[in-house]
Amino acid sequence: MSFNWPELYFIRHGETDWNAEGRYQGSKDIPLNDIGRGQADLNGRLLVEILKRAGRKPGEFTWHASPLGRTRETMERVRSAFSEPLPEVAFDKRLVEVSFGVYEGRLHSELSTSEMAIAGERDADFWFFRPPSGESYEDVAQRVLGFAGDNLNGPAIIVAHGGILRILRRLIEDFPAERAVNWFPPQDSVVHFIDGKSVVYPAGHSWDD
C-alpha cells in the first residue's frame, strides 16, 4: 500500500522504569517515571517553539496518540505547554508499540542473539522477525499504514512509541530495514517529517533555524 504522507510532528513517550532497566516493553502498559515526565514537559515546550517559528497554529493539525498510559500522559504534558485551545486527541490502538510477545518484561541482556537481537546488532531480516506471541515490524507497518489511510488527511501531531517511529522512518523516508531496526529513537526530541524527510529537534538544547 502506497501512501502520500502529510507533514507530521512525532514525539516518542518519555522514559519508563522498564526503559531505564533495559527491558523489552512493547505493548505492556508501563507508566512514565519522573525522568520521562520531565522529557514530556520539555518536548511540549519545544513543540510550542517549533510551531511558533514556523508560523503554524496547533489547530491546523490533527492530534493522535497511542492509547497506552505512557503515551497518554506524554500527550497530556505536551499539550499543557500550549496556552490556546487545542483539537481533541484521537487515540488509536494501531499506534501501540510493536508487541514483543513472550519477551516483554525480559532484560535485553537476558536474551541471546538467537532469541532477540538487540538494537545495533540486527540485520535486515529482523524487520520480519516475529517473537512468539508477538509482532514483526512488518506486521506493525501494515497497521500503521491502515491508521494513516484512515486518519492522516492533512498535517498531524502524533505521540507514540519508539518502534512506531522506526517504522515511520522506513515508510516515509525509505530507510533500509537494517538501518530502521538499529536506529535508537530519542525520548527527548520532536521529529518533524515533511516532503519525505525528517529533522530531529532535541529538547532542552539551544537550536536555531
185/37 Cα distance (integer angstroms):
17
43/37 Cα distance (integer angstroms):
10
Helix H or strand E encompassing 137:
helix 137-151
Count of other CB atoms within 10 angstroms of residue 195: 8
Please say whether the beta carbons of 140 and 98 come within 8 A. yes
Q: Among all residues, which ones are annotated catalytic?
A: 13, 97
Count of other CB atoms within 10 angstroms of residue 155: 15
109/92 Cα distance (integer angstroms):
32
